[in-house]
Amino acid sequence: MSELTGLTGKATAAKELDAADELAGLRARFVLDHGVYLDGNSLGALPAAVPDRVADVVRRQWGELRIRSWDESGWWTAPERIGDRIAPLVGAAPGQIVVGDSTSVNVFKALVGAVRIAADGDGGGGRDEILVDATTFPTDGYIAGSAARLTGRTLRPVAPGEVPAALSERTAAVLLNHVDYRTGRLHDLPSLTAAVHAAGAVAVWDLCHSAGALPVGLDEHGVDLAVGCTYKYLNGGPGSPAYLYVRKGLQDRFDSPLPGWNSHAEPFGMREVYEPARGALRGRVGTPDILSMLALEAALEVWDGVPVEAVRAKSLALTDFFLECVGAYVPEGRVESLTPVRHEERGSQVALRCSDAGDVMKRLIERGIVGDFRHPDVLRFGFTPLYVGFTEVERAARVLAEVLA
């Protein structure tokens, strides 16, 4: 009886929360169905404006204008134009972000660039270590290993909380994740960046799991370089291009390990000698991937008039409510939340440890609740405030409890 009351109570609460949700109308900007999609932290849902835009890019811009579209359809300037569109979402003034390449490739540019900036500030001297988040999504660690090898530095994996103690005059650069991909833990970007700077090192942040879900404040907190993907909370589509932020004050010292013709000061001069462009353009490499890039541009229109602060408030309300429902519905001890309870330590996902997580996620998906499984024992649920509502959250927790029973 008390369980039934619990169920009824939560369902009612969900309806009330949805009714009061100022962002609820944004769901109409996406193509969705009757399932509950809690995997937007892996692949964001399709924004409704994208299909027609892509069709225009393919049929008219490519099919009819062909080569003329590099000028006439704004293809050539897309990387910096779309970068400026992302900028307000991560707290950056214009002229500091370019879009292009994968996150991995941008981590490489950022980290080698950071080491060179550190060496430059240091007279080329003794800063021989790169610190990397020991709990990072693997690719950052692999690429950091390559950057260390190619620049003659030592790579040292350190848990984010231990970074302040690990910093020294040997530290060249530090690569950290704003939100941990497994647990959903939000790291303290302002204080960690300050600690890195106090040690005279360069701070590089990976925003894959925070951009579009919470305020980042790149400029405000003095972050040096940052990278992020655009297919999670920015809904750019499968494998859509990533971005690179280089703080204005460092752009003249940013020395890319991938100096392609697109970052040349005079790209159509076809010069034999490389002379880097000024500004964020310096992060460009080869010919930009137009289809994916312009799909992303259309996808970013869902942000028109949407303050990131409101998104953050709803994100926390969603994850709070999910944890509450899970607490009410799921038998004690059946799952363990890895996601911090404190708001200042939480991203926009909930990770539940569960010994049979692989099987459980399969059954959830069969029942229309789509999250994902992270090896070996984690159920991961992402909450995209632009299109997830409270009634869905309650339903997801209820089905989860049924599957676990």
Q: Interaction with a copy of itself in 124-143: which residues (CB under 8 A)?
A: 134, 137-139, 141-143
364 binds a copy of itself (CB under 8 A): no
Active-site entry in 140, 206, 289, 372? 206
69 binds a copy of itself (CB under 8 A): yes
Contacts of a copy of itself in 32-51 (CB under 8 A): 33, 37, 39, 42-43, 45-46, 50-51
Look up 59 and say whether it is catalytic: no
Residue 96 Cβ, how far from a copy of itself at the closest point, in Å?
22
Q: Which two tokens stand for residue 185?
A: 């833990």
Stretch that binds a copy of itself, among 11-19, 186-194, 282-290, 312-320 (CB under 8 A): 282-290
- Say how far apart CA 392 and CA 398 lie, in whole Å: 10
Active-site entry in 37, 231, 243, 383? 231
Q: How far is CA 4 from CA 14, 207, 399, in A?
A: 15, 41, 14
228-168-139 Cα angle (round to 5): 30
Sole binder of a copy of itself in the list 374, 380, 395, 398 (CB under 8 A): 374
140 neighbors 109 (Cβ within 8 angstroms): no
- Say how far apart CA 298 and CA 104 lie, in whole Å: 24
181 neighbors 209 (Cβ within 8 angstroms): yes
Look up 10 and say whether it is catalytic: no
Contacts of a copy of itself in 296-315 (CB under 8 A): none
6 binds a copy of itself (CB under 8 A): no
Q: Which two tokens stand for residue 355?
A: 């010994």
258 binds a copy of itself (CB under 8 A): yes
The site map against a copy of itself for 86-125 (x = CB under 8 A) is ---------------xxxxx--x---x-------------
Give the single-character DSSP code of 48: T
- Pair type for strands 349-353 and 378-382: antiparallel
Sheet containing 372-374, strands listed edge to edge, beginning at the edge strand earlier in sequence:
336-337, 349-353, 378-382, 372-374
Report the residue number, 32 or 317, with the smaller CB distance to a copy of itself.
32
Active-site entry in 137, 321, 373, 387? 137
Q: Length of the chain in residues, anyone? A: 405
Active-site residue set? 137, 206, 231-232, 380
